[in-house]
Structure 1
C-alpha cells in the first residue's frame, strides 16, 4: 500500500483529488454538502466504494475539526447549548451506522425529498429568516427539542446523510432563533460529533485508507479554514445564498435518483474520471 501511495502522490490523480476535496471542504464549512464533491472524487481516483466511504468520512472529519475551531475562536458557538445536546448527535450517528447494515437506505429517499422541499420553500418564503440572531436563552423546552433534533439528525447522518448540513442549520434557526452564521457554527459541532461516531465505526470495520485520508484531510483542513473564515467575515448575506444553493443541489440530486433513476453520483464520478484520462 505504501509503494502504491508513493507512486500516486505526485500523480495527476492525487493532485486532482486534493483540489476537488479542498473545494468540497470550503463549501462544507459554509453550508454543508461537501460530500457531493469529495466522495465522487475519491471513487474516481480508483478507491473501492466501501473504502472510499470510510476514507472520505475520515478526511471530512479532520476538515470539520478545523472549521469548528474557526467558528469557535470567532465566538459563533454556544458551548452551553452544545454541552447539553451534542452527545445526542453522537449516539444517534452510532445507531445510524449500525442500522444501515440492516436496512436499505433507499426507503429514506421520499421522506428526505419532502423535508428538503419544505426547508427550501420555508426559507425562500421567509426572507428575513436567519438574518438576525434572536436567541434569548436556553429553556427546558428548546433544550428538549434540541436534544431530539440532535439525535434524529445524528442518526440520519450515520444512516443516510444527504442534506444533513442544511437540516441542522435550518433546525437550529427554527428552535433557537439563531442567525445563519451562529447556526452554521453550531451545526459544525453537531456534525463533528456525528462524524466522529461514524469514523469509529468505519475504522472498526477496517474501511479506511489512511494513506489517502490523512494527507487529503490536511488539505481539506485548509479549505475548511478558508470557508469558515469567509463565512464568519461575510456573515449571513454570504451563508444564506450558499445554503439555498447547496440545499437545491442536494434536492435535485435526490429527485433525479429517486424519481428518474438517474445515478447522479456515478455521473459525477464519470466526469471526474474523464478529467483524469
Structure 2
C-alpha cells in the first residue's frame, strides 16, 4: 500500500470538512467529496466506496446531533429505514457491474445534473404542517426511501437534498425534514459502506482522514451555523 502524500492528505481533509459542513444542513456534500476523490486518481468504484466511508463518519455525527435536538419523527423514519438500507445495497451492487471507463462519465454527468437541480430547486418549509400520512403520501415516501437508498448506493451525491425535499413535500418544516433525512441517509450510508467493503472498493488511507474532517465539519455546520445556513438557503432558492 503506497504512502499518502501530505498534499493529498491536506486536500482530502479540506474537501471533507467543506463537504460535511454543507451536508450537515442542506445536503449535497457528495458534490464536493466525490470529485475530490476522483481527482486523486482513484478508480470510480473505489472513489464511491471511499466516499461512503468518510460520509458515514460525518453522517453519524450529524444524525446524533439531530437526535439530541428532538427534530426527528422517529416513528416514521424507523419504518422507512429498512427500505433505504435495501436500496443502498442494491445500488452498490449495480455499481460493481459497470466498467470503470463507463462509470466515470456517468458519475460526472449525474453530479452536474444534481448540482443544477440543487441550485434551481425552489425552497419551502419555514413552518411544519405535517399531521399524519395519507395513503397517497405513504406510497410516495416509501417509494422515495427505496429509490433514494438505491441512488445513495449507486452515487450518493445530493441524496440528502432529495430526501429533504421529499419530507418537505409531506409538510415537515426544513429542520424536521433535514433531521428525518439524516437518519435515512445514515442507514443507506452504512449499508452501502458494508457492501463496498465486501467488494474491496474502499481506500482506508484516503477515507479515514477525510472522514475525521467530515466529523469536524458536521459538528461546526450543525452546532454553530444551522440557523444562519437555513436562512441563507431560503434566500438563495427564492431569488
| TM-score computed with the length of structure 2 as normaliser | 0.83
Match of 1:202 among 185, 188, 196: 196
The structure with more radius of gyration: 1
3-state DSSP class of the match of 1:30? coil
Aligned counterparts, 1:70-89, within 5 A: 70-89=65-84
List alignment gaps of at least 5 residues for structure 1.
246-277
2:210 maps to 1:211: no
For residues 187-246 of structure 1, what are the alpha-carbon distances to aligned partners after superposition, in whole Å with 9 as ceiling and x for unaligned? 11111111112111110011112222123211210101211224544474244357x49x
Match of 2:231 among 206, 231, 237: 237
Aligned counterparts, 1:104-119, within 5 A: 106=106, 113=113
For residues 122-175 of structure 1, what are the alpha-carbon distances to aligned partners after superposition, in whole Å with 9 as ceiling and x for unaligned? x26xxxx2111112134555334321210111112223434322221111111x
| TM-score computed with the length of structure 1 as normaliser | 0.72
Distance (whole Å) between structure 2 residues aligned to residue 90 and residue 26 of structure 1: 24
List alignment gaps of at least 5 residues for structure 2.
none
Answer yes or no: is the 8 Å Cα contact 1:131–1:236 preserved in 2: no
Answer yes or no: is the 8 Å Cα contact 1:88–1:151 preserved in 2: yes
Q: Which residue of 2 aligns with 1:226?
A: 220
- RMSD of the alignment, in Å? 3.1
Distance (whole Å) between structure 1 residues aligned to residue 198 and residue 234 of structure 2: 37
Distance (whole Å) between structure 2 residues aligned to residue 158 and residue 80 of structure 1: 24
Distance (whole Å) between structure 2 residues aligned to residue 36 and residue 57 of structure 1: 13
Q: Which residue of 2 aligns with 1:270?
A: none
Q: Which residue of 2 aligns with 1:264?
A: none
